[in-house]
């Protein structure tokens, strides 16, 4: 059986924690109580047992056990099912670490399911304990604390991306050529940003759907708090869109700079080739085995030398003025 965290609140006050799952029904039988249960990497037997006790829908259970759920909010007769993701940017591996967190929500209980240990639930517990006065508002307060922590993590990820691409923006104007490993790292970070965007964008609809008053999922006093979470999701989405535009600009600028540098190299190579062609032409002409003006004469050698030095020097000065050299 997977490890589980448990808590029970009575009249908005934490009454007990760490109790066995067998005691969930006993606590729910008491008036003015609500229960939180958290699973880390549960198996089918863990959720099936709880599904019978709490009347969880089989499709929601399948989603909680299956891989790679997109952020969404599903409504069933007895509960809601919310899927979201905790995201962290790992600069060392140039990847986004993704932990799916699924939530079953009822007016009397909330069940969270984590697909791996990448998300530390102690962060959420600390968030709950910082606002004990809001616990009287019920299960929707616990869900708010969870969403608040997850969305705050998005801001940290966006800041990491932002700092990284600021550094990249400076590197592309450096004189030294980019190493293949650096270019690969840029590509992998770009893939990570796309993955991050795909998981953050649907959160707008999920949180918006959760806040619909006709559904009654959120306590009235908590609407300002949920609105704050929604605003944060919007800001993250807009920041992600801006970062994607920045990345596209960086890629285009890098290609333009690469073409510019290649043109500069070609100008230098062509200029030196033109300068070298002058003495080659003159010495080739004067090296013919036929009589020509100055053949066998000292002044002929001096004329060839003067032409070689003069024309080569003139080309060098011309190319230098044009900044080809």
Q: Which residue has the higher pLDDT, 1 or 106?
A: 106
Say if residues 273 and 324 touch (Cβ distance below 8 Å): no
In whole angstroms, how far apart are CA 135 and each of 21, 148, 149? Answer: 22, 15, 16
Say if residues 23 and 56 touch (Cβ distance below 8 Å): no
Contacts within 8 Å (CB) and 24+ apart, 166-169? 168/250, 169/246, 169/250
Residue 216, pLDDT > 90, answer: no
The string of pLDDT tens digits covering residues 218-230 is 888 999 999 999 9
pLDDT confidence tier of residue 188, bands split at 50, 70 and 90: confident
Cα–Cα distance for residue pair 275/254, rounded to 1 Å: 32
The C-alpha angle with vertex 103 and arms to 64 and 4, in degrees rounded to 5, equals: 80
Please state the rounded mean pLDDT for residues 177-196: 80
Residue 1, pLDDT > 60, answer: no
Three-class HEC string of the chain: CCCEEEEEEECCEEEEECCCHHHHHHHHCCCCEEEEEEEECCCHHHHHHHHHHHCCCHHHHHHHHCCCCCCEEEECCCCEEEEEEEEEEECCCCEEEEEEEEEEECCCEEEEEECCCCCCCHHHHHHHHHCHHHHHHCHHHHHHHHHHHHHHHHHHHHHHHHHHHHHHHHHCCCCCCCCHHHHHHHHHHHHHHHHHHHHHHHHHHHHHHHCCHHHCCCCHHHHHHHHHHHHHHHHHHHHHHHHHHHHHHHHHHHHHHHHHHHHHHHHHHHHHHHHHHHHHHHHHHHCCCCCCCCCCCHHHHHHHHHHHHHHHHHHHHHHHHCCCC
The C-alpha angle with vertex 84 and arms to 7 and 93, in degrees rounded to 5, equals: 110
pLDDT confidence tier of residue 177, bands split at 50, 70 and 90: low
Residue 266, pLDDT > 60, answer: yes
What pLDDT, on the 0 to 100 scale, is given for residue 261?
Answer: 72
Q: Which CATH superfamily, name and number, covers 4-258?
A: CorA soluble domain-like (3.30.460.20)
Nearest to 225 by CA among 116, 135, 96, 300: 135
- Pairing type for strands 80-90 and 109-114 reads unpaired
What pLDDT, on the 0 to 100 scale, is given for residue 207?
Answer: 93
Q: Which residue has the higher pLDDT, 262 or 124?
A: 124
What pLDDT, on the 0 to 100 scale, is given for residue 227?
Answer: 94
Cα–Cα distance for residue pair 103/81, rounded to 1 Å: 6
Mean pLDDT rounded to a whole number for the chain = 85
Residue 6, pLDDT > 80, answer: yes
Please state the rounded mean pLDDT for residues 32-44: 91
Adjacency order of strands within the sheet including 13-17? 13-17, 4-10, 33-40, 109-114, 95-105, 80-90, 72-75
Please state the rounded mean pLDDT for residues 249-278: 74
pLDDT confidence tier of residue 260, bands split at 50, 70 and 90: low
Please state the rounded mean pLDDT for residues 63-71: 87
The string of pLDDT tens digits covering residues 72-106 is 999 998 999 999 999 999 888 878 899 999 999 99
What pLDDT, on the 0 to 100 scale, is given for residue 86?
Answer: 95
Tokens of 53: 């006790």
Tokens of 159: 């800041």
pLDDT confidence tier of residue 204, bands split at 50, 70 and 90: very high
What pLDDT, on the 0 to 100 scale, is given for residue 275?
Answer: 72
Q: Which residue has the higher pLDDT, 214 or 66?
A: 66
Please state the rounded mean pLDDT for residues 300-323: 73
Residue 319, pLDDT > 80, answer: no
What is the total residue count of the chain? 325
Residue 140, pLDDT > 90, answer: yes
What pLDDT, on the 0 to 100 scale, is given for residue 63?
Answer: 92
Cα–Cα distance for residue pair 225/214, rounded to 1 Å: 18
Q: Work out the percent of the chain whose per-residue pLDDT is above 70.
A: 89
Residue 169, pLDDT > 80, answer: no
């Amino acid at each position: 059986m997977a490890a589980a965290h448990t808590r029970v609140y009575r009249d908005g006050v934490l009454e007990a924690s760490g109790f066995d799952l067998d005691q969930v029904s006993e606590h729910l039988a008491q008036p003015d109580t609500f229960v939180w249960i958290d699973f880390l990497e549960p198996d089918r037997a863990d959720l099936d047992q709880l599904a019978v006790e709490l009347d969880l829908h089989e499709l929601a259970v399948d989603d909680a056990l299956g891989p790679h759920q997109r952020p969404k909010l599903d409504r069933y007769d007895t509960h809601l099912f919310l899927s979201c993701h905790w995201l962290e940017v790992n600069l060392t591996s140039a990847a986004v670490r993704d932990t799916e967190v699924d939530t079953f929500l009822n007016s009397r209980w909330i069940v969270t399911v984590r697909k791996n240990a990448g998300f530390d639930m102690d962060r959420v517990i600390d968030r709950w304990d910082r606002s004990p006065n809001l616990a009287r508002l019920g299960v929707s307060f616990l869900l708010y604390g969870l969403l608040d922590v997850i969305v705050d993590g998005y801001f940290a990820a966006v800041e990491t991306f932002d700092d990284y691409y600021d550094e990249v923006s400076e590197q592309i104007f450096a004189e030294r050529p980019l190493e293949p490993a650096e270019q690969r790292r840029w590509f992998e970070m770009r893939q990570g940003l796309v993955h991050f965007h795909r998981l953050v964008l649907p959160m707008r609809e999920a949180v918006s759907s959760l806040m619909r008053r006709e559904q009654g999922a959120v306590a009235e006093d908590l609407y300002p708090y949920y609105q704050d979470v929604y605003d944060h999701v919007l800001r993250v989405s807009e920041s992600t869109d801006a970062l994607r535009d920045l990345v596209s600009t960086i890629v285009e600028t890098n290609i333009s700079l690469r073409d510019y540098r290649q043109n500069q190299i070609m100008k230098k190579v062509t200029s030196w080739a033109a300068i070298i062609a002058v003495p080659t032409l003159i010495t080739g002409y004067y090296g013919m085995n036929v009589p020509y003006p100055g053949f066998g004469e000292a002044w002929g050698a001096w004329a060839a030398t003067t032409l070689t030095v003069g024309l080569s020097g003139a080309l060098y000065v011309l190319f230098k003025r044009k900044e080809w050299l």
